Amino acid sequence: MICTDIHCDQHMTCLNQEKDKNMNKYKTAIITIPAFLLSTQIHAITLGFFPSSANLNAGDPFSVDLRISDVGDNTAIGDYDFNVNFESSQLSISDTDVVFGNQLQQGGVDSLRSVTVGDGQLNISEVSLTDARILNASQSDEFTVATLNFSADQLGVSELSVSVNSLGDQNGAALDTPSLNSAAINISSLSNLTPLQRNSGRVLRNVCNGFQGQQVLTADQQDLATISCRLTNTRLNERALGSAYQNVAGEETIAPANMAVSSIIRYTHLLMNRLVSRRNASMLNNTAQNASWRNGYQSIAALDLTGATGGSAGTGDGLTDSEKLSVFMDASVNFGETDQTAREVATHFNKEEVTFGADYRFSNNLIAGLAVGYSNAVANFQKSVDVSGGKTAEQGYSGSIYSSYYVDDFYVDGIFTYTRRDYDIDRNIVIPSLNLRRKAKADTESDQYAASLAAGYNLNVQGFDINPYAQVSYTRLEIDNYSETGAGGLNLNVESQNVESLESILGTRFSYAWSQSFGILMPQFRAAWHHEFKENSRSLKTSYVNDINNTRTQNILKIRNDKPDRDFAVIGVGISGVFQGGVQVFTAFETLLAQENTSSHKFTAGLRIPF
């Protein structure tokens, strides 16, 4: 075609415009494609294990996640074929011990999976059948390929490593070999770790594993995840590791039950001895050598030798048959300590207690009364390598009814007591390797029921009084569950506790009445042998408040206390003074013997006034 000049100019302009337009497309393509290629090359996918290290006891099961991360935008993993290499003399695994992740199964579509276990090598592969677009849109940038459940068989350090046979994207295109990270598994005897420390470490490992893959966590959950994983992956020496495990374990939660059981036993014995004093009033007319002091005489057997087992001012009272009503008050201080064991912390404890009561003689053979008591106790946890201190404070309020029936020198006594207790618990947590120092705080309450039955015989010979007796006591304690605060991710849930005790007591009271011009002095001695039938070592379940899997059995720590001593003894001495009108004051001291890890001593003083 031939065109005019003007037509040619216009045509050339059009051609040039079209050419420029096409060139711009080419320029865009030339610029864009290298940029895309560049982004895939500098974006390094990472494949490795979590945790990257672990300290285990020989024979322990443990789990490790094979994780892939940094997959990047516009890319999804469509297939893989990996080899996991391990030391077969130290670790073992079967094909059923592999749990695949779900990130290659999107939109309800399955995948093709394969597991092969060889000598020191585990091969896992998977091919996604999900549409490429759905897989790309739904798959996470970071996920667990599979969880591998190994068993630690022999001592030593075993390295876990992974190699890549193939790795493809959602379209089946090959991806570059990712950056590979290995793991070091230290298997030792952990011979110096206590069962409590080993179990605490096991729970921390399970807690850490449970947080993997969780995207949204509260601040306290993140705190627990960080601490549990750091302690799981730490390379601390055995001593430091055991200390860290025990600091977070919470064995201090056993203390309230131990305090309550010992407290009710002492209080019950206090009132039993009160009944002894009331009964012995009938001996007054036949025993008193000085008629002017007849209203003030009471044999020493009536004194309350308590201490590790109770005491009351009423124990030294002296009443004539005409004295129907009597009131009493006593105050006591109990102190002692418990030794640290593999299960329980060492404590220094002290307790102050005051009791008020009144009883009435309904006939020559029957006495009944009421008593109320208040107590305040503190058990301080002693610091050691494994324990960072703290305390349990207790306040108790009790009410009792008691009665005695006697014929001549033979008697039967009964008592029922209800006690309400409030506890404030502080538990210090210190882990130097993590630069961590915290205080967990909690409060809870308990209800306690106790019943006792005793029988004995009074024998009086020329001013000496001998009173052999036998007693059986049953106690039930119910402590409410509670949750700690103040320690961030390390706060614990503590389950409710039920404790039962059935105790027998065989004992004898010895006393002598020593008449003076100002009254009657009665030195005394008492010895008793206690046997526990029912109370055993108790298991208390705790879990981390912020553990997202805290209802799972493997994430619950069972804290067990020491088995209580089946047999122990109590001995005591004291003196009582009875003055004109029957007013009596007394003081006594008792101590506990033959308990393996406990020492306990008690001073008691009191006053009795007859009406």
What whole-number distance in Å separates Cα of residue 60 and Cα of residue 151? Answer: 6
- The pLDDT value recorded for residue 376 is 95
In a domain, 244, yes or no: no
- Strand spans (E) along 262-365: 325-338, 347-361
Query: With the C-alpha atoms ordered 100, 158, 56, 143, is the resulting torsion angle positive or negative?
Result: negative
Q: Say whether pLDDT at 179 is over 80.
A: yes
SS3 of 74, please? coil
Q: Are residues 385 and 493 in the same domain?
A: yes
Of 189, 209, 241, at which residue does a domain stop? Answer: 189
Contact 121, 84 (CB under 8 A): yes
- How large a percentage of the chain has pLDDT more than 90? 47
DSSP H or E run through 311: none
Q: Which of the residue ranges 342-356, 476-490, 576-590 has the most confident prediction, judged by mean pLDDT?
A: 476-490
**Is position 71 within any domain?**
yes
Residues 556-583 have a mean pLDDT of: 88
Pair 285, 168 in one domain: no
Query: 280 and 150: one domain?
Result: no
Query: CB of 501 within 8 A of CB of 527?
Result: no
Q: Is the pLDDT of residue 604 over 70?
A: yes
Long-range CB contacts for residues 106-114, cutoff 8 Å, separation at least 24 = 106/130, 106/134, 106/135, 106/138, 106/139, 107/131, 107/134, 107/138, 109/134
Is 517 or 368 the better-scoring residue by pLDDT? 368
- What confidence category does residue 601 fall into, taking pLDDT thresholds of 50, 70 and 90? very high
Cα 95–100–102 angle (5° rounding)? 160
Amino acid symbol at 303: L
Indicate whether 159 pLDDT > 50: yes
Question: Has residue 41 got a pLDDT over 50?
Answer: no
More confident residue, 446 or 9: 446
d(CA 582, CA 298): 9
d(CA 488, CA 472): 46
Whether residues 264 and 384 share a domain: the answer is yes
pLDDT at 8 over 60: no
Instruction: Examine the pLDDT at 111 and tell me if it is beyond 90.
Output: yes
pLDDT at 232: 81
Which one of 28-37, 166-175, 305-314 scores highest in mean pLDDT? Answer: 166-175
Phi, psi angles (nearest 5°) of residue 532: -100, 125
Say whether both 131 and 273 belong to one domain.
no
Closest residue by Cα to residue 528 from 470, 465, 472: 470
Q: 236 falls in which pLDDT band (50, 70, 90)?
A: confident
At residue 549, what is the residue type?
Answer: N
Reported confidence tier of residue 86, pLDDT bands at 50, 70, 90: very high
Does residue 37 surpass a pLDDT of 70?
no
Domain membership flag for residue 468: yes
pLDDT in tens, 294-344: 333 333 333 333 333 333 333 333 334 446 888 989 899 999 998 888 888
pLDDT at 326: 87
Average pLDDT of the segment spanning 158-187: 89
Contact by Cβ (8 Å): 297, 578: yes
Q: How confident is the model at residue 30, as a pLDDT? A: 32
Q: For residues 566, 567, 572 and 578, what is the CA-based torsion angle, rounded to 10 degrees?
A: 70
| pLDDT higher at 54 or 3 | 54
Is residue 332 included in any domain, yes or no?
Answer: no
CA atoms within 13 A on the CB side of 323: 26
Which CATH number characterizes residue 452's domain?
A: 2.40.128.130
Q: What is the pLDDT of residue 260?
A: 66
State whether 128 and 276 are in the same domain. Answer: no
**Per-residue CA distances from 526 to 76, 255, 303, 546, 586 (Å):** 83, 29, 10, 53, 15
- Contacts of 303 by beta carbon, 8 Å cutoff, 6+ apart: 273, 277, 315, 316, 509, 511, 522, 524, 574, 576, 586, 588
Which pLDDT band, with edges at 50, 70 and 90, does 455 fall under? Answer: very high
Q: What is the mean pLDDT of residues 396-405?
A: 93
C-alpha pair distances (Å), 599 with each of 74, 154, 381, 576: 71, 43, 15, 26
Kindly state whether residues 149 and 275 are assigned to the same domain: no
Q: What is the mean pLDDT of residues 475-498?
A: 95
Q: What is the pLDDT of residues 123-149, one digit of tens each?
A: 999 999 999 999 999 999 899 999 999
537 in the same domain as 410 = yes
Supply the pLDDT for residue 610.
Answer: 85
Portion of the chain with pLDDT greater than 70, in percent: 81
What is the 3-class SS of 152-190, one letter each residue? ECCCEEEEEEEEEEEEEECCCCECCCCEECCEEEEEECC
- Is 561 inside any structural domain? yes
pLDDT of residue 284: 44
Q: Cα-atom radius of gyration of the chain, to the nearest Å?
A: 39
SS (H, E, C) 523-563: EEEEEEEEEECCCCCCEEEEEECCCCCCCCHHHCEEEECCC
Residue 229 belongs to a domain: no
Range of the domain at 491: 251-291+341-610
* Structure confidence at residue 78 as a pLDDT band (50, 70, 90): very high
Higher pLDDT, 522 or 289: 522
pLDDT of residue 608: 85
The answer to whether the beta carbons of residues 526 and 572 sit under 8 Å apart is yes
Distance CA 69, CA 103 (A): 12
Split at pLDDT 50, 70, 90, the class of 266 is low
Q: What is the mean pLDDT of residues 28-43?
A: 38
In a domain, 110, yes or no: yes
Asked if 516 contacts 292 with a C-beta cutoff of 8 angstroms, the reply is: no
Give residue 538's identity as a one-letter amino acid code: R
Report the pLDDT value the prediction gives residue 74, as an integer from 0 to 100.
87
- Let me know whether 417 and 512 are in one domain: yes
Helix, strand or coil, per DSSP, at residue 286: helix
CA gap 564, 530 in Å, rounded: 12
Band of the pLDDT at 263, cuts 50, 70, 90?
Answer: low
Q: Are residues 261 and 155 in the same domain?
A: no
CATH of the domain at 93: 2.60.40.680
Which tokens belong to 582? 């029957």
Residue 55 tokens, joined: 């300290």
Per-residue pLDDT, 98: 94
pLDDT at 205: 85
Mean pLDDT, residues 421-449 taken together: 94
Strands 183-188 and 53-57: parallel
Provide the pLDDT for residue 234: 72
On whether residue 333 sits in a domain, the answer given is: no
Of residues 388 and 316, the one with the higher pLDDT is: 388
Q: How many independent structural domains does the chain possess?
A: 2
Q: Which residues contact 484 (CB under 8 A, 6 or more apart)?
A: 425, 427, 440, 441, 442, 491, 492, 493, 494, 545
pLDDT score of 7 more than 80: no
Q: What is the pLDDT of residue 368?
A: 92
Mean pLDDT of the chain, nearest integer = 81
Query: Average pLDDT of 105-118?
Result: 93
562 and 470 in a single domain? The answer is yes
Specify whether the CB–CB gap between 77 and 169 falls below 8 A. Answer: yes
Give the least confident one: 110-114, 344-348, 489-493: 344-348
Q: What pLDDT score was predicted for residue 527?
A: 95
Q: Is the predicted pLDDT of residue 410 greater than 50, yes or no? A: yes
172 near 79, Cβ under 8 Å? Answer: yes
DSSP annotation of 342: S
The pLDDT value recorded for residue 437 is 95
At 280, the pLDDT band (50, 70, 90 cuts) reads low
Q: Which of 45, 41, 120, 33 is nearest to 78 (CA)?
A: 45
Tell whether the model's pLDDT for residue 566 goes beyond 60.
Answer: yes
Please state, in angstroms and rounded to a whole number, the distance separating the CA atoms of residues 367 and 401. 11
- pLDDT at residue 68 is higher than 60: yes
pLDDT at 385: 79
Confidence of residue 58 (pLDDT cuts 50, 70, 90): low
Name the β-bridge partners of 470: 455, 506
Token pair recorded at residue 71: 């997959």
Say if residue 219's pLDDT is above 90: yes
**264 and 172 co-located in one domain:** no
| Greater pLDDT, 474 or 282 | 474
Q: Is the pLDDT of residue 28 over 50?
A: no
Report which residue type is found at 295.
Answer: N
End position of a domain, from candidates 145, 167, 189: 189
| Residue 191 pLDDT | 62
Two tokens at 469?
A: 């007796």
